[in-house]
Chain A
């Protein structure tokens, strides 16, 4: 499946995947409802932001796409797969095609940067090989290139914990890129970063979209970043889609409807 079987030779990933959600409901075991019937379609190669306050369900939504959070009902289709029907090995295979980066970077701080990026090769590696600690030459090369592409190659043998926030997020992007994914998910990727670093990480994501042609879905709570870097914006409030349209033309009134309150200064990054 996917592009993993082909050597990467400067060509954008084989084909980006579209994403379809149909009436997706997520109810957590503790009774909290994360999503109440979300339906939407994202075309292959789109760059979409999901905007909403914390608790609006955007984290939940992005996690239903790679099955980290199982949908209680409804259908989640990514590329040729119906994620909500898969489990075990097949689910891991799909996840291999979906890169993800996180607000807290989710790196193993005590492990080297090399090993952290090698995590991206999991779905292409048999478990016993990982267990023995042998990485194939191809995997090693992919890791190095991914690190090179985010400008972190010279740190490859250092510990992830020694990096700054912006550097950590770049390593996390390299980890996702080394999966050679068809889709890139980002859950509040810049919420823990200072404004200049936030912009550089956002432009990295933008380039993942334009240069590799991946479908990119990025959760944001800041309206100016959504307007600047994405073409389409989906607004979530209390687990429901309340806005879906072009990001650049979204008005302040649209944002107030998404947030459910007047706009405040902390809703923009500034600069």
Chain B
């Protein structure tokens, strides 16, 4: 039964007449001569582009850091606000609904619109990353608070504390490891995202990618991709190390 449904959906989504994806293997054959030449260039990274990458690379990293830091500041109170034990009132549902909407908009869509609003540069990039991170961090942290043992809350209420007092003094240290780990995770994702934000004008390496692609400099493109690869993996390794130390 499930298999039939899955196959049906797959068939519908591959019917071009219905707006589905046209699986056009013929196109590969037609474009092969042209494309294979470019792909061959990809295997010969062009190091001459490197000096021009340092500045945008730094900007990419800076956007990632600032985005993660700003979202971390906002995510802490919002997470406590969005979780049941730390916010028994109904306002919780509101916070969750808003965040679900924020999460439903893809990162580059934010960037595209923000660039049109506030102009080209790092600012729309940072705002995009903050929105993107908030969606992830608040969801994961508030879910962690929901599922964690919260019996200490009862003691705080029994002692005559307000919810804010309880959250500040006890829920905060209880949540800290999950929170720090998710913030690190958002930083990892940010590096990946911020390297392409420039494609729509939001600063960082993406602008350079767009440029070399426009000039069909596939050797330079592959050099930049390699660079992103190295940085992303380095950040991932560092963040995994830090996460282990947090336990």
Contact = CB atoms under 8 A, between A and B. Distances in A.
Q: Touching in the complex, A and B, CB below 8 A?
A: yes
Interface of A: 66, 68, 91-100, 102, 104, 106-112, 115-116, 118-120, 122-123, 125, 127, 130-131, 133, 172, 175-176, 179, 185
Given A91-B160, A96-B159, A116-B170, 6 more contacts: A108-B170, A110-B173, A112-B173, A119-B169, A122-B161, A130-B169
A123 B170 contact: no
Contacts of B176: 110
Nearest to B176: A110
A111 B173 contact: yes
Interface of B: 151-152, 154-162, 164-166, 168-171, 173-174, 176-177
Contact of A95 (B159, B164, B170, B173): B159
Nearest to A129: B165
B213 to A, nearest CB: 48
B156 to A, nearest CB: 5
Contacts of A93: 160
B85 to A, nearest CB: 12
A100 B155 contact: yes
A133 B154 CA distance: 21
B151 A106 contact: yes
A96 B165 CA distance: 13
Contacts of A116: 152, 170
A175 B155 contact: yes
B164 A130 contact: yes
A131 B174 CA distance: 16
Given A111-B173, A115-B173, A106 B164 contact: no
Contact of A68 (B157, B161, B169): B157
Given A107-B152, A110-B174, A111-B173, A66 B158 contact: yes
Contacts of B162: 92, 122, 127
21 contacts: A68-B154, A104-B151, A107-B152, A108-B169, A108-B171, A108-B174, A109-B152, A111-B169, A112-B173, A118-B169, A119-B155, A119-B170, A122-B159, A122-B169, A123-B160, A127-B164, A130-B164, A130-B165, A133-B168, A172-B155, A179-B159
A102 B164 contact: no
A120 B159 contact: yes
Contacts of A112: 173
A95 B174 CA distance: 24
A175 B177 contact: no
Contacts of B155: 100, 102, 106-107, 119, 172, 175
A229 B169 CA distance: 34
The 4 closest A-B pairs by CB, nearest first: A123-B160, A122-B161, A95-B160, A96-B160
Contacts of B158: 66, 68, 95, 98, 100, 185
Contacts of B157: 68, 95
Given A119-B156, A130-B168, A172-B155, A110 B161 contact: no
Contacts of A99: 159
B106 to A, nearest CB: 35
Nearest to A94: B160
Nearest to A96: B160
A110 B176 CA distance: 9
Given A102-B151, A104-B151, A133-B168, A123 B173 contact: no
A123 B161 contact: yes
A92 B151 contact: no
B121 to A, nearest CB: 36
Among B154, B162, B176, find the residue whose CB has the most chain A CB atoms closer than 10 A: B162
A172 B151 CA distance: 12
Contacts of A104: 151
Contacts of A133: 168
A119 B159 contact: yes
A6 to B, nearest CB: 18
Contacts of A108: 152, 169-171, 173-174
Among B155, B159, B176, find the residue whose CB has the most chain A CB atoms closer than 10 A: B159
Contact of A123 (B154, B159, B174): B159
